[in-house]
Chains A and B, each alone.
Chain A
Amino acid sequence: MALNGKVPAGNLTEKWTKYRASMPLVAPNNKRRLDIIVVGSGLAGAAAAASLGELGYNVKCFTFHDSPRRAHSIAAQGGINAAKNYRNDGDSTYRLFYDTIKGGDYRAREANVYRLAEVSASIIDQAVAQGVPFAREYGGLLDNRSFGGVQVSRTFYARGQTGQQLLIGAYQSLSRQISLGSVEMYNRHEMLDVVLVDGKARGIIARNLLTGELERHAAHAVVLATGGYGNVFYLSTNAMMCNVTAAWRSVRRGALMANPCFTQIHPTCIPVSGDYQSKLTLMSESLRNDGRVWVPKKQEDAAAIRSGHKNALDIPEEDRDYFLERRYPAFGNLVPRDVASRAAKIACDEGLGVAPTGLAVYLDFSAAIERYGRSKAGVMGLHNPEHKKVIELGQNVVEEKYGNLFAMYEKITGENPYVMPMKIYPAVHYTMGGLWVDYNLETNIPGLFAAGECNFSDHGANRLGASALMQGLADGYFVLPYTIGNFLSNDIRTPKFDPNSAEFLQAEADVKGRIDQLMGVQGKQSVESFHRRLGKIMWEKCGMARNAEGLTAARRQIQELREEFYKDVFVPGSATGDYNPELEKALRVADFFEMGELMVVDALNREESCGGHFREEHQTEEGEALRDDANFAYVAAWAYNGWDTDPVLNKEELVFENVELKSRSYK
């Protein structure tokens, strides 16, 4: 299939402005006749549903959560980027665009990324107007901090709870539209299929999670804002309920899944402690502003730490290897995530890990505490303060900046990070891959749109920190509400769709078939145990480092496990008349099997290393990723037609007219 990204012609910096000005509009009286379904009420979904409601469309918004306030977006900690240049440090739309393209290792579409950078500033304006309490300076203006992969300070933040505050802002806007009647909200409803009428997306099948009933909902267009698929790895920093079902079911109806193997492993997470572990907790990237990453230089020191005979404080300065600062002097601890994660893995592979499992490195704040302490003492006019005083003052400053993260660390590990360096290890965090969309955020199925983490659009092979919130809100507030008009302007005379038509009844019957199949197995093993096993295969063979042999084995193992699942899974309870979380999980895990296999297929196909995708066969002598622009500067968009046939690859060639493809160096 030839893929057309529908990028408007013209100069990069003018594309969006001109396009927006020339787009067909839908008149207000016609908007009232048009129905839109938005699935998802995270940042992207809530922003889109609220904005579309404000514009006058009839919106139905669905979430499987008990309230739109709880989406996974709420957990984002560190911040949101915007090219405001409030710091006067040389930031600009172009620089944000360039950093994002480079950070993504040149595997994203230029025009989309430029538009993202362009609208970024409006997001901050919008959020402040909603009452989002961003961090401020004493002068009353907004504060910023730095994130990885960039040399300017453009990250806006609300303590360590930026996602929470932005989501609450979007949720409140959504709530206002609900009260005004322009958005009808369906909590505790899970979309289990998309319905196509004459090849266009015209509705969904949703399951009411309280009663188990299946419902048919029709509309003129469907927007998916259903988040990422990181939980295919079982252990990740994602919320427990994140899943791929909405996107995957669309793939099963013909949508293309783009770059599924591009997953982000975040370098700073609390390491795994035991096999009962259910999720991993992120320690925000903002900590790398002030924390220094190190391992002991000597294997015997690392071994002594692992066995509990020594601790971090016993290792003298000269025996520590600050390996990020050593390998990447220009960016130091603030290299992008993929680079930092791989460096930590290498250190642990060399036997220098500092947790009993061997899988952890230190993130140390002692230098920052001392530095802040001295500066604070200076401000207070204390000359020659005692060391103890300096540390106390420094700890106060660090607490002000990162207090909630330090408290969270201590709650989980029982260790005090003000005194003892944190132990961290990389964990699955974000998925750059997702539904293929064109410039309008429309998938290859007309009328089916995808926004936020569930699309593949802006981050290429690696996402920079604080850019997911930006993208979700850009899509939801400032892009989709315009571009959806392109599609809907052809539908102003199309009457409402009938949810009792044959297409809807068939889709409902298909969903019921899937549910009956899972309930009918009545095997012996829990859904969770299958999910754990799938995750282990994915992590070991399709995680931080991949090779052809491992990937080939992984594909076979996933297929075998999937077969076992359909023979031996036990889903207790009943499918209707009851609230049944085990059935919810079973449906999601069933889709993870297929998605996991596709990720492996994609990783095998991409014979290069780029961003989060590291093929061991393709690296430089120093162990850095080796891209192959001649052969792989394309988006891999896969069609999947079932277990018996191989997925089919479609390519969208990436054209770079404004940036020169360079090997990414942070040295």
Chain B
Amino acid sequence: MENMHLKLKIWRQGGKFSKKGEFVTYELDNVSEHMSFLEMLDVLNEKLITQREEPVAFEHDCREGICGTCSMVINGHPHGPNAGTTTCQLHMRFFRDGDTITVEPFRAKSFPVVKDLVVERAAFDRIIQAGGFVSINTGQAQDANAIPVSKESATVAFDAAACIGCGACVAACPNASAMLFVSAKVSHLAMLPQGKVEAKRRALAMVKQMDLEGFGNCSNVTACEAECPKEISVENIARLNREYISAAFVYDEKEEKGGGAG
């Protein structure tokens, strides 16, 4: 359909709007089913600008579902109602003429709102900095085919490595836990021989940082898996727990000093 009419209930916060935020309702005409959700917001913003109003701030970059920048809750779902789809890949053909759509930012204590729909997710970076890497320097590597890796392990590693660091799992979780994100990284690296060596240290360091950042505990709700645009599996959480428990046995605090697992 080419001429949908929509009512948009959008969270506005900061700028000319209140510091603690409020919903503002906008009407939009002539929405085409071929538009992406963000293109629909572009059209709204163009309209607001011509009316000399402040456009809605939202983050985006690749607009093809890979960078993890876009981040909004649409009708109660992080990245909207479609499974396995980021906001930027959601198209208007999934909405109907006359719909009211509610749009708000990811909500979690560790993701403070910057403005309108924009949140700060630097906490994820700090979790990676705590140990989400393999400790090798440039030029130290041996030949890439020196260690064969079974196709099965490579596949499991890849499925976990597909995480785009968007934070929808946190936004979906009633406890605002970051376990799916953390476990995806722990699994990705633990499944490969190159990353296996440090797996236990890594799990400990990343979980410790996750707690410091104020993310909540995992109570197996699995809403994260349902909302994750990359369909990262909660099996990764089980794998993280195994690494973590066995690691907690082996390592004491002394061995963890000095720049995370660096």
Contacts and interface: CB of A to CB of B under 8 A. Distances in A.
Contact of A579 (B61, B118, B143): B118
Interface in A552-611: 570, 572-573, 578-579, 581-582
Given A75-B62, A138-B151, A133 B157 contact: yes
With most chain B CB atoms within 10 A of its CB, the pick from A68, A125, A128, A273 is A128
A465 B161 CA distance: 24
B262 A241 contact: no
B interface majority secondary structure:
loop
Interface string A157-195: 011010011001001110110111100010100000000
B39 A276 contact: yes
Given A122-B141, A411-B85, A72 B62 contact: yes
Given A140-B150, A241-B61, A570-B49, A172 B132 contact: yes
Interface in A226-253: 239-241
A67 B122 contact: yes
A210 B115 CA distance: 9
Residue of B15, B66, B157 ringed by the most chain A CB atoms within 10 A? B66
Interface of A: 47, 50-51, 54, 65-70, 72, 74-75, 84, 86, 122, 124-131, 133-142, 158-159, 161, 164-165, 168, 171-173, 175-176, 178-181, 185, 187, 210, 239-241, 273-274, 276-279, 281, 408, 411-412, 414, 477-478, 481, 524, 526, 528-529, 570, 572-573, 578-579, 581-582
Contacts of A133: 154, 157-158, 161, 188, 192
A124 B55 contact: no
A528 B46 contact: yes
Given A54-B138, A240-B60, A578-B115, A129 B158 contact: no
Given A67-B165, A570-B49, A240 B61 contact: yes
Given A173-B136, A180-B262, A578-B14, 18 more contacts: A54-B137, A68-B125, A72-B61, A74-B62, A129-B194, A133-B188, A161-B162, A172-B128, A175-B128, A176-B129, A178-B129, A210-B114, A273-B34, A411-B85, A528-B45, A529-B46, A573-B15, A581-B55
A16 B148 CA distance: 31
Contact of B138 (A84, A136, A412, A477): A477
Interface string B49-72: 110111101011111111111000
A70 B68 contact: yes
Contacts of B8: none
A65 B114 CA distance: 14
Nearest to B205: A179
B121 to A, nearest CB: 6
B149 A136 contact: yes
A176 B262 contact: yes
A86 B145 CA distance: 9
Contacts of A158: 158
Nearest to A574: B15
A140 B66 contact: no
Nearest to A67: B125
B130 to A, nearest CB: 7
B9 interface: no
B171 interface: no
Contacts of A66: 59, 69, 120-122
Contact of A125 (B121, B135, B142, B154): B142
B136 A140 contact: no
B89 interface: yes
B200 to A, nearest CB: 16
Contacts of A180: 259, 262
Interface in B151-196: 151, 154, 157-158, 161-162, 164-165, 188-189, 192, 194-195
Contacts of A570: 49, 52
B218 interface: no
Given A66-B120, A140-B149, A175 B133 contact: yes
13 contacts: A67-B124, A67-B165, A70-B67, A127-B144, A136-B148, A168-B161, A172-B132, A179-B130, A274-B32, A411-B85, A414-B93, A529-B46, A572-B54
Contacts of A528: 42, 45-46
A66 B114 CA distance: 11
Contact of B133 (A86, A172, A181): A172
Contact of B144 (A124, A159, A279): A124
A16 to B, nearest CB: 14
B134 A129 contact: yes
Contacts of B53: 572
A560 B161 CA distance: 48
A544 B161 CA distance: 37
Contact of A69 (B118, B165, B192): B165
B66 A572 contact: no
Contact of B129 (A75, A164, A175): A175
Contacts of B226: none
Contacts of B189: 131
Nearest to A173: B133
A582 B42 CA distance: 12
B38 interface: yes
B73 to A, nearest CB: 18
B220 interface: no
Most central of A50, A136, A481 by chain B CB within 10 Å: A136
Contact of A276 (B32, B151, B165): B32
A84 B14 CA distance: 54
Minimum-distance CB pairs A-B, first 9:
A140-B148, A172-B133, A129-B141, A125-B141, A128-B144, A133-B158, A51-B138, A179-B129, A526-B49
A263 B164 CA distance: 29
Given A130-B134, A176-B262, A75 B67 contact: yes
Contacts of A122: 139, 141
A74 B138 contact: no
B133 A130 contact: yes
Contacts of B135: 176
Contacts of A164: 66, 162, 164
B54 A414 contact: no
Contacts of A74: 62, 66-67
B4 interface: no
Nearest to A125: B141
Contact of A75 (B64, B143, B151, B259): B64
B42 A276 contact: yes
A408 B89 contact: yes
Interface hub of B32, B34, B89, B145 (most chain A Cβ within 10 A): B145
A47 B139 CA distance: 12
A566 B15 CA distance: 25
Nearest to B58: A581
